[in-house]
Structure 1
Amino acid sequence: MSDTMKTTETDEKPPKISSEGHTVNPTKSMRLGSFLSEILPLASFFVFYRLYGLYAAAIAGVSMSAFMLLYFWLVERRVAKFVVFSTLFSGVLTATAILASEKMLIKIQPTISSLVMAGVLLGGLLRGKAMMQVFFGTQFRLTEATWFQLSFRWGVFFLVAAIGNELAWRYLTEANWVIFRTFVMSPATGIFMLAQLPLTLRGRLPLDQDA
């Protein structure tokens, strides 16, 4: 799942001026980066699965995620905490799966990471805390009500995603599970992300106003 949630919000920083005198839109750049950080690891996973199998696909996906993390840290000096967690978690499970020769550990990665995020987001709401603000509050300026709504919606989405992945890897063939992960869950995540855009735009705060 990597950095998909970042694209549901709009960066409030003013445009930058390039060395050639052209205006640089940081929001557009960030959205493109978020899109690439979601697509490239999955594309690597799919291609390497077709060529070399599941273990190679898992290594390729984690390696691409780590590369994208490094790239955006060097370029923007910021990364989402969830992306760091997801990449580290996937790396540990991938290494364990290879050492133990157990493919199931690769298949349940999306389930566990989604359940963790659902638990964090929905559990935070039960404690009166919008965890989406904790993850992205330094990057985006939204009203408190908007953070709570986004936390609830993404929490439910991650819960549904976990259930979907469990059903897929248990009842589909390995090849069909890879197709499900690449061509079903990824577009579903993108569609859900875009569906949150109206809420996010309505919840933006002026630059001179605190959340």
Structure 2
Amino acid sequence: MSAKPINPILKQVLELGPTLAFFLLYIKIKDNTYTIAGTDYSGFIVAAVVFIPVLLAAMAVLWFLTKKLSRMQVFTAIMVIFFGGLTAWFNDEAFFKMKTSIVYGLFSLLLGIGLLRGQSWLEYVMGEFLPMQREGWMILTRRLTVFFAGLAAANEFIWRTQSEELWVTLETFAFPVVLFLFLWSQIVTLQRFLIEEPK
């Protein structure tokens, strides 16, 4: 089923809004402690748990409007639910912080497995959005494999050595911007492999 057209601004709000909402809620309650059923929870853990239904609601609206969700969106949602649940169950924020490392690490691992098989699994996920020759997909896949591994390592270093507030800020703004700029630069450098649709 092909996706229905949607206002691009609304699409960005639905995709990026939950993360921004998490950041704003965290900033507001980061210094608070909440006692729920006799257990004390930090503001970070409360914000992380609230993030789950907000993300699912945004995805539900996006699906309702477009009748389609990307595999990456579904995978990310599963990881957020899983690690958010572990964070709440064990009352340990490390699970939520590790989520980013594991997501990027799994992306790198999966793309690497595809490369070892002589395939670009990235093309399987994004091919319909970005028509490109196979050679271009293989180059992009190799670069993204290394890049995702680097992001996973960077996240591990940051959350283990830096302040919680710095990690939340980088998670919300820096990582997405760096990923966007990297992908944009790759599209520019790999333009010669792009397949132009017939007019």
Deviation at 1:67, TM superposition (A): 2.8
Determine the structure 1 residue equivalent to 2:118.
Answer: 128
Residue ranges of structure 2 left out of the alignment (5+ in a row): 30-42
Deviation at 1:201, TM superposition (A): 4.4
Asked if structure 1 preserves the Cα contact closer than 8 Å seen for 2:45 and 2:88, the reply is yes
CA RMSD, 1 decimal: 2.5
- The secondary structure found in structure 2 opposite 1:196 is helix
Is the alpha carbon distance of 1:65 and 1:165 closer, same or farther for their aligned partners in structure 2, counting shifts above 3 Å?
Answer: same
Contact preservation (8 Å) 2:120, 2:138: yes
**1:104 lines up with 2:116 in the alignment:** no
CA 1:121–1:36 in 2, change beyond 3 Å: closer, same or farther? farther
What is the CA distance between 1:57 and its match in structure 2? 2.1
Instruction: Give the counterpart of 2:142 among 152, 159, 171.
Output: 152
Relative contact order higher in (CA < 8 Å, ≥ 6 apart): 1
Letter in 2 for 1:81: R
Q: SS of the counterpart of 1:205?
A: coil
Aligned-pair CA distance for 1:75: 2.2
Distance 1:139 1:77, change over 3 A: farther
Q: Match for residue 166 of structure 1?
A: 156
Q: Name the structure 1 match of 2:40.
A: none
What CA deviation, in whole Å up to 9, does each residue of 1:151-190 have, x standing for no partner? 2222222111101100001101212211222232232122
- Structure 1 residue ranges without an equivalent (≥5): 1-12, 17-25
Counterparts of 1:36-55 in structure 2, within 5 Å, are 36-52=13-29, 53-55=43-45
Q: Please identify, of 159-168 and 170-179, the stretch whose mean Cα deviation from structure 2 is larger.
A: 170-179
1:68-79 to structure 2, matched below 5 A, reads 68-79=58-69
Residue 185 (structure 2) pairs with residue 198 (structure 1): no
Structure 1 equivalent of residue 48 of structure 2 = 58
Deviation at 1:200, TM superposition (A): 5.6
Change in CA separation of 1:122 and 1:36 when aligned onto 2, cut-off 3 Å = farther
Residues 206 and 116 (structure 1 numbering): CA distance in 2 closer, same or farther, change over 3 Å?
A: same
Q: In terms of mean alpha carbon deviation, does 174-183 or 42-51 score higher?
A: 174-183
What is aligned with 1:7? none
| TM-score between both structures, scaled by the size of structure 1 | 0.75
Find the residue that maps to 1:79 and give its secondary structure. coil
Contact residue 15 and residue 59 of structure 2 kept, 8 A: no
Asked if 1:189 is matched to 2:179, the reply is yes
Instruction: Confirm or deny: 8 A CA contact 1:47 1:57 kept in the other structure.
Output: no
- Equivalences, count: 183
CA contact (8 A) 2:120 2:141 kept: yes
Q: Conserved in 1, the CA contact under 8 Å of 2:14 and 2:58?
A: yes
Q: Which residue of 1 aligns with 2:35?
A: none
Do 2:49 and 2:88's aligned partners in 1 also have CA atoms closer than 8 Å? no
